Amino acid sequence: MTGKIIAIIGGGPAGSATALSLLQSGGHDVRLFNARQRSKIKIGESIPPAATPVLERLGVSHLLSEKAHLACSGSVSIWGDNNPGYNDFWLNPVGKGFHLDRNQFDLQLYKQAQSHGAQCFDGWRLHSVTQQTSGFKLLFKLENGEEKSVSADFVVDASGQGACFARRLGVARNVLDEVICLSAIFSVPKDLEVSNRTFAEATENGWWYAARLPGDKIIVSLTSDATIIKEQALASPEKWNQQLHRTQGLKKWLPSLLLQQLPDLQVKSAPSAILSCVVGTRWLAVGDAASSYDPLTSAGITKALMHGEQAGAAIARFWREKDNQAINDYQDMVFDQFSQYASLRNQLYMSETRYRRQPFWRRRQLLSG
């Protein structure tokens, strides 16, 4: 293939969406490097209706119709007062939301990028970066210990919160706040009826989230902060389960059999953070590598897809018009959306007044002030 070599580091939704967007413009040698980092639980396993139009524009909306994913009719929340609030997706003109099999969804997008023309390299982990006059020399380590070097005209950092490429260039990451998610996935009997809505509930030490997942499973997660988790030993399955029993609505929403099970917990950091710059000379960052959001906003996957689409368009325009305006416009968009996100996040945390004197909520509200 002729054309400029675009190296995309990261095979998640942001990287695959960038590849698909670039391939729509044609004329590029798109190479997608996936380090194969797979976790048992991924924060962000549901997408709202807003994600569907992006997938349609990328030509992959058919992925949602596959049996691997479940339709989601909306959400229920106990937040701000003791009365449940409802958000019905069926009233949204765009369409419905979905509960995803995240590993399957990520793999589907990755394979779509490959089938559309991206060269995919599995098990390639970035080791070092050397800047050149016409781009970058990237050194990768393979799973078998072998080293491979690649010269790229342009690099997209889609490596997640670690931002492995931008970090090697010395780009700083600015952290607004950080919460910790203690998550568990439970199996449920096939014939057990479980609501297809997501459920959220604010409590004294943070907030809970639960959702039905494909494959007869339910995810249940407590979001708190590191200090409280350490002081109260909430990462202990027994303590976590005790906190679950203290919820008002979630313990009624969940099948009773789950309340008796001690979970196998996964601890995951969820910072609200953004790079000091998300673009530079012949590179840009996308998805969580550029900016990461609190899971409270349920925007992570949608952001990754939207930013990937726009990043691909910006890179194509950069080569077509031979100036940096498209890349600078992309950065302005990422910064502007992070500001909008921070404002929304502040509103959501400030709206919970029942526990405002408790440490978790007081810290969030001080950050909002």
pLDDT number for residue 96: 79
Nearby residues of 261 by Cβ (< 8 Å), 6 or more positions away = 186, 241
Using one digit for the tens of pLDDT, what is the confidence trace for 219-260? Answer: 999 999 999 999 999 999 999 999 999 999 999 999 988 888
Architecture of domain 4-68+101-174+272-346: 3-Layer(bba) Sandwich (3.50)
- The encoded tokens of residue 289 equal 């590598």
| Whether the predicted pLDDT of 39 surpasses 90 | no
- Name the pairing type of β-strands 28-34 and 119-122: parallel
Task: Select from 312, 102, 112 the least CA-distant residue to 213.
Answer: 102
Torsion of CA 65, 66, 68, 69, to 10 degrees: 0
d(CA 346, CA 304): 21
Neighbours of 303 (CB within 10 A): 26
* Stretch among 64-73, 149-158, 302-311, 342-351 having the lowest mean pLDDT: 64-73
pLDDT tens per residue, range 51-72: 989 999 999 989 987 678 988 8
Please count the other Cβ atoms lying within 10 Å of the Cβ belonging to residue 342.
20
Out of 32-36, 90-94, 243-247, give the one with best mean pLDDT. 243-247
Torsion of CA 101, 117, 137, 317, to 10 degrees: -100
pTM of the model: 0.94
